[in-house]
Amino acid sequence: MSCAICGAETDSEYCKKCEKILDEIIHRVGEERWGAMDDCSYIYPMVKRAAKGELSINDIINAMEVED
């Protein structure tokens, strides 16, 4: 199986690095807001860039604010 975000080989839907970033985003924005999103896949490219060190979690959250 490969990570739905970065394509790395993993045993679950997301690799450990991408899952850690997603968990931090969910923690910061809140479960309710995260659950209200229809499709979160639009942030996958940003999470991939965050995993590479090109973006911060704050950058992703700011982009989510624009989408709301």
Q: Using one digit for the tens of pLDDT, what is the confidence trace for 10-54?
A: 999 999 999 999 999 999 999 998 888 888 888 999 999 999 999
pLDDT band at residue 67, thresholds of 50, 70 and 90?
A: low
Residue 68, Cβ density class (10 Å: 0-12 exposed, 13-18 middle, ≥19 buried)? exposed
At residue 68, the pLDDT reads 60
pTM of the model: 0.87
Q: How far apart are CA 68 and CA 49, in angstroms?
A: 21
> 């899952």: which residue's tokens?
19
What number of other Cβ atoms are within 10 A of residue 27's Cβ?
Answer: 11
Shortest CA distance to 36 belongs to which of 4, 68, 3, 5? 68
